[in-house]
Chains A and B, each alone.
Chain A
């Protein structure tokens, strides 16, 4: 064989250029560096003209056609230097399995995220070789430390495993007939919860399209967060109506508070205000509702929602903690964001009144004066608990005790 000039050889048989031969030639050339030579053995005589022209159009160099002692042509093609993908082809990566499972965490460990990402790589998955010359994408979240905490894939795995069904996983058939005042209080509380969860559905969606696909696990986690919120909205509205209570009032102060969340443009600030402060505060609210639930359907709805919210809070915490470690200016930016929001909400004196009343009646369990007095005490206790937990959570995120106190005091009285 005259193989001394070629790094690779393929047998094209009698295939014409348009009969599938290119599916052999192109992958073979892809294995070569620019200048590397491929030999194409063929008995198809039309290739004598077709291959040189194809090479010219593709900017490969057609070197020559050699006659062989057998009855076939040997075409030599040197790979051209245009459109060569950057980087090395992935090889040697076999994903580990645990009891037949392949987790996102294992994938992340095998193909680590780059510290910085290139917006001209578009939607190329991490690890793919990227042909140069692609357009610049409008991704603005391009730094690992601001986008993707190391725990993100693990949290995604947990989120996927914890999905549940709003139709079938709640014992709807056990919805009781409650006194009207309790039903109306439930309707009001779930109206408020659904309204807040709508904001928690919309806010992350703003950022997914800004995240560079090299950090796709963060986008994947946020998509589970959005699926969680969609389910919560679904079950909250169902519970409000399942017993005939119906929806209550949407307060202007709630609306104002949620708009100030929706208008956030910085991903870390949003994660902090929504997940650490807002959803964190919601954990205590959901616990309160479960503790005072008048029926097992209500208790199951808020229990399941709280499990999901805890995951969102966890992601928010690790996100902010990771970013704080890598960015010394972040604390002051977060404090400024909290202060800006507090300033726009300075007219909001406390939790929305319809909600206060709903929670009080719920905790009272009836509308006798004595019960309502107990309910009111429970509500005041809730506000205290929320503040205490927020401070702990903030310390956990990496703030000092003083910083944590300041930020918690500034947090919206709307809870979210």
Chain B
């Protein structure tokens, strides 16, 4: 393997991850950016090996992204993100028969929340609720800590949350709006039973991270091949659909401020 090859890390949260990265690897290899990938079972290991320089690029969740920045004194370089990663929101959804009319009414009620490392289903919705004056100690949290280490990628805990609200184990729940809108579009949500009560402020999601001393040529080749993927090319489109985006976007950092604050003062 030549030194030219970019070694990328991603977390295997689903079988399709193999298909996605084999396809993207082939695209990169055919477009002047020799690339190979390593799959991790959790983001903690991926971040650790990025920091040790064992991989060149990490495809990170927001939580992993912020941790990389914190551990490199903000010197890490962000390369790109998905259109669907920008302006993410979380939702508080409620049962229509719960009597909950405002987020303050959550006190005394059961609120289903996702995995403890899910930015959209647990960390940020609780952070924003607290910032709005909800006393979380008075809320009965029903926690679905599934797929810990995957940072909420599988969406399993969000589906658990929606099911718990639908079957009455909880009066309310927190989910990301990607799941919320997609589950509605797919006809999986009974609008007679559940509605969205509140929307958090926006935040951003996944990011490609590299260390500041990575070879500049690798960075340039990576960006050129990444942003060369377009929706109208059938081979690209298949991969983009699998990865859940239509357009790769340049990085931006403001969208992670709320997560940095949340990590500085953790919620339950």
Contacts and interface: CB of A to CB of B under 8 A. Distances in A.
Interface of A: 15-19, 22, 46, 49-50, 53-54, 56-57, 59, 82-83, 120, 132-136
B234 interface: yes
Given A16-B195, A132-B232, A135-B234, A56 B87 contact: yes
A134 B232 CA distance: 9
Nearest to B200: A49
A17 B184 contact: yes
A22 B184 CA distance: 9
Contacts of B89: 49, 53
B142 to A, nearest CB: 22
A136 B192 CA distance: 43
A49 B199 contact: yes
Nearest to A132: B232
8 contacts: A17-B184, A17-B185, A46-B196, A53-B89, A57-B84, A59-B246, A83-B231, A136-B234
A11 to B, nearest CB: 17
Contacts of B184: 16-18, 50
- By secondary structure, the B interface counts as mixed
B41 to A, nearest CB: 28
A135 B232 CA distance: 11
B60 to A, nearest CB: 21
B182 A57 contact: yes
Given A16-B195, A57-B84, A82-B246, A50 B181 contact: yes
B187 A18 contact: yes
A49 B91 contact: yes
A299 B238 CA distance: 59
B38 interface: no
Given A54-B181, A132-B232, 12 more contacts: A16-B191, A18-B187, A19-B192, A46-B195, A49-B199, A50-B180, A53-B87, A59-B83, A59-B247, A120-B234, A133-B232, A136-B234
B83 A22 contact: no
Contact of B185 (A54, A120, A134, A135): A54
Nearest to B238: A135
A243 B188 CA distance: 64
B18 interface: no
Contacts of A83: 231
Contact of B234 (A15, A19, A56, A134): A134
A18 B231 CA distance: 26
Given A49-B177, A56-B87, A57-B182, A18 B234 contact: no
Interface in B80-129: 83-84, 86-87, 89, 91
A164 to B, nearest CB: 45
B221 interface: no
Contacts of B83: 56, 59
A135 B87 CA distance: 31
B67 interface: no
Given A17-B181, A19-B191, A133 B233 contact: yes
Nearest to B186: A18
A133 B199 CA distance: 34
A413 to B, nearest CB: 50
B7 interface: no
Given A18-B183, A19-B191, A49 B234 contact: no
Contacts of A57: 84, 178, 181-182
B237 interface: yes
B189 interface: yes
A133 B234 CA distance: 4
A41 B225 CA distance: 42
